[in-house]
């Protein structure tokens, strides 16, 4: 057990350059399957935000502010793929269950801040994690999240530091309209099979099942319940969809 007589034992060191470099190296690896993330990084539209601990609310206000700015920037210039990645210094020894719990704690905190600031939920998606049309909403824009961490069972999700990547739902809807989404999805799945030897069983198209099941990367069964409730759920016209 840690001794708390030493104040330094309470803190995880944050080195933004080190955190960002680790994620860049992960995405830049030749066998990393997500071609969308590779494209965003090559275009300079993969923004990285360093944070302290995945299990602490210490940086939640700052992360939420980054999401508000990211949403506004997207509305003013909606072209091209982009992602906002929050890289935490630790803890680096979380199991898949522990990472999943910490991830939903952070997302719950961010959702409360969005509601407290009076941000309306993106009407194009559902606020209910039981709905097949569920997505998160920050700054009036829908997002889905990809969780990455050292203890992930899938190699594509196994990063040096715990990470949450926020992807704008609307940009993938635009790819569908342009007829590009399925081709990109097929490429990602094929590359994931090359890396892992099998297709990720948690992957599904938006509208086929709740995307909440995919966020942490942990394989879950049909009885899994999402530990999240957006404060605006009761105002969501699609919550029963």
- What pLDDT is stored for residue 216 in this prediction? 95
Whole-angstrom distance, CA of residue 49 vs CA of residue 44: 14
pLDDT tens per residue, range 149-192: 999 998 999 999 999 999 999 987 876 776 765 676 777 777 76
**pLDDT tens digit string along 110-153?**
999 999 999 999 999 999 999 999 999 999 999 999 999 999 99
Are residues 14 and 51 in contact, defined by beta-carbon separation less than 8 angstroms? yes
Looking at 95-109, 158-172, 211-225, 226-240, which range is the least confident one? 226-240
The sign of the dihedral angle between the CA atoms of 61, 57, 117, 108 is positive
User: pLDDT band at residue 241, thresholds of 50, 70 and 90?
Assistant: very low
Question: According to the model, what pLDDT value does residue 222 have?
Answer: 85
**Residue 205 pLDDT exceeds 60:** no
Query: Is the pLDDT reported for residue 208 higher than 70?
Result: no
Region 58-69 average pLDDT: 98
Q: What is the pLDDT of residue 200?
A: 61
Q: Which two tokens stand for residue 32?
A: 């990393």
């Amino acid at each position: 057990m840690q001794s708390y007589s030493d104040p330094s034992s309470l803190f995880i060191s944050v080195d933004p350059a080190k955190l960002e470099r680790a994620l860049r190296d992960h995405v830049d690896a030749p066998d990393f399957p997500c071609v969308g993330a590779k494209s965003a990084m090559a275009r300079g539209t993969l923004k990285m935000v360093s944070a302290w601990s995945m299990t602490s609310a210490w940086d939640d206000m700052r992360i939420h502010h980054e999401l508000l700015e990211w949403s506004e920037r997207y509305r003013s210039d909606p072209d091209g793929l982009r992602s906002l990645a929050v890289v935490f210094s630790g803890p680096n020894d979380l199991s898949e269950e522990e990472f999943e719990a910490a991830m939903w704690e952070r997302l719950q905190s961010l959702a409360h801040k969005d509601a407290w600031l009076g941000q309306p939920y993106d009407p194009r998606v559902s606020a209910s994690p039981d709905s097949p049309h569920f997505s998160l909403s920050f700054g009036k824009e829908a997002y889905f999240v990809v969780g990455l961490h050292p203890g992930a069972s899938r190699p594509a999700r196994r990063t040096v530091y715990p990470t949450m990547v926020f992807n704008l739902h609307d940009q993938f809807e635009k790819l569908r309209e342009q007829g590009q989404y399925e081709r990109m999805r097929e490429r990602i799945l094929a590359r994931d099979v090359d890396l892992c030897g099998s297709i990720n069983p948690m992957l599904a198209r938006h509208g086929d099942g709740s995307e909440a099941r995919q966020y942490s990367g942990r394989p879950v069964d049909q009885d899994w319940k999402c530990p999240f409730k957006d404060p605006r759920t009761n105002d969501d016209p699609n919550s029963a969809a």
